Structure 1
Amino acid sequence: MSERPLPRGADAPLDVPQVIVVTGVMAAGKSTVSQLLAERFTRAVHLRGDEFRRVVVRGRVDMSPHGDPEAERQLALRHRITARTADTYAQAGFTVVVQDLFVGATLAPFLEQVGSRPLSLVMLAPDVGTVMQREAERTKVGYGDLWSIRDFDHKVRTETPHIGLWLDSSQQTPDETVDEIARRLPEARIA
């Protein structure tokens, strides 16, 4: 585990209990960056929202580009559980790095459910070519027949509110991305 502390900003101390949401397209580097970011804090939790999807043993309906009401209901449930869990950890004195897909109209409702402050948002936004390369190199498949990388990227960039820190991490290693997030965390603060 890394012991590098986050740099202190002039606006507010950064190593205080808070919630930092890390999102972006599939294969943007959310898992790696979120883990490394959490390791920078003295007391931290890396909360993977997708874990709440995976615990559904029977009856799970995954999201698709075709819009299924049950899938959307389950996604909203997952986000509600994630928000409550993040608040519980933050209230116990932890910095919580929440990692999940918050795309388009799902972002604002999630953020409204998080009561802990400070609240920050980081959108990892590497270019399409970089996402294609990363997708080809990883073991899990996020796109396949249902999702096009180019279409999903377009949806994120055009339908997701441009709040917080949008970071083009195309030319960065995960450590460089985390260094930039740490340096610019005050810009990511939304509440």
Structure 2
Amino acid sequence: MSGLDDAAIYLLTGIQAAGKSTVAQALAERLPRSAHVRGDVFRRFVVGGREEMTPDPSPEALAQLRLRHRLAAQAADAYAAAGFTAVLQDVVLGEMLPYLIEQIHTDPLYVVVLAPRPDVVERREAGRDKKAYGTFTVADLDTGLRGGTARIGLWLDTSDLTVAETADEILARAEPVRSTRDCSRD
């Protein structure tokens, strides 16, 4: 199968309205054989009994979050096994980042954290049709990202970068991450 040797996974994370979906799509469009895997669809698949994440999540909400991340990892791995580079994007913060990395079996794996300034995220959120913030504030999630998430992979302050410039930076600077034991650190 053509492209199997080139298959990889790019995991893009950041807080809501950080630009993950837009950047992931732009990155996937630059790659010759690619798939854009949106982790949030796995949350939306749950119809009855869905527990949303809150600042103080229930055990069931955490179990559903881990399920969402496992399913997203499996989908990304399946695309990579078929010779596609999968660009997986989702909000993956705190202890969930090492957890999701461990669920992904494809090598190479690139981890990219989009970390624009909170004021930029607030402006982006105000200009969007969909509203991501309800239970959480931008400040809540930004604090969780910067204070509670391991510095794994490439962290980019995208506050002053266009989508195209962000994709350029990812392709030029991202280094493979093999596991949480030997991750690249900024």
Q: Map 1:165-184 onto structure 2 (within 5 A).
A: 165-184=154-173
Letter in 2 for 1:81: L
The corresponding residue for 2:148 is 159
In the alignment, the residues of structure 2 paired with residue 101 and residue 152 of structure 1 have an alpha-carbon distance, to the nearest angstrom, of 10
Letter in 1 for 2:142: D
Deviation of residue 106 (structure 1)? 0.6
The corresponding residue for 1:49 is 39
Paired positions, count: 174
In the alignment, the residues of structure 2 paired with residue 122 and residue 85 of structure 1 have an alpha-carbon distance, to the nearest angstrom, of 18
User: What 5-or-longer segments of structure 1 have no aligned partner?
Assistant: 1-14
What secondary structure, in the 3-state scheme, does the structure 1 residue paired with 2:7 have? Answer: coil
Q: Map 1:127-146 onto structure 2 (within 5 A).
A: 127-144=117-134, 146=135
The corresponding residue for 1:65 is 55
The corresponding residue for 2:182 is none
In the alignment, the residues of structure 1 paired with residue 47 and residue 118 of structure 2 have an alpha-carbon distance, to the nearest angstrom, of 33
What's the % identity of the aligned pairs?
49
Deviation of residue 138 (structure 1)? 0.7
Deviation of residue 75 (structure 1)? 0.6
Q: Map 1:98-113 onto structure 2 (within 5 A).
A: 98-113=88-103
Q: CA RMSD in A?
A: 1.1
Deviation of residue 142 (structure 1)? 1.5
In the alignment, the residues of structure 2 paired with residue 28 and residue 159 of structure 1 have an alpha-carbon distance, to the nearest angstrom, of 17
Deviation of residue 60 (structure 1)? 1.0
User: What 5-or-longer segments of structure 2 have no aligned partner?
Assistant: 179-186
- Checking the alignment, whether the CA contact within 8 Å between 2:115 and 2:158 is kept in structure 1 is yes
The corresponding residue for 2:80 is 90
In the alignment, the residues of structure 2 paired with residue 90 and residue 117 of structure 1 have an alpha-carbon distance, to the nearest angstrom, of 9
The corresponding residue for 1:185 is 174
Letter in 2 for 1:77: L
What secondary structure, in the 3-state scheme, does the structure 2 residue paired with 1:66 have? Answer: coil
Deviation of residue 56 (structure 1)? 1.3
The corresponding residue for 1:9 is none
What secondary structure, in the 3-state scheme, does the structure 1 residue paired with 2:13 have? Answer: strand
The corresponding residue for 1:23 is 13
